[in-house]
Amino acid sequence: MKTVVHLTTELSTGGAQNALYKLLASWDRQCWQITVLCLYNGDGAIAEQIRGLGIEVVDLRMTHKWRLD
């Protein structure tokens, strides 16, 4: 199984987030181990849809562009 990590700024509803969801929904998860990292807003509607696909979403919860809490 191959691993891929997608990094995005946030997972609130928007065009890029919807495109990411559609991309992830099309991947064969028997061949790919997929994880999505987001800098903040990892609890939005798109994040829940991605989790519904069985994909791990990790929210780094950045509070400032140079700071991870």
Q: Locate tokens 């999505």: which residue? A: 36
pLDDT of residue 59: 93
Taking the model in full, what pTM does it have?
0.85
Query: Of all residues in the chain, what percent carry a pLDDT higher than 70?
Result: 93
Lowest model confidence (mean pLDDT) among 1-15, 24-38, 55-69: 55-69
In this predicted model, what pLDDT tens digit does every residue of 45-64 receive, in sequence order?
899 999 999 999 999 988 87
More confident site: 36 or 67: 36
CA dihedral sign, ordered 16, 21, 25, 27: positive
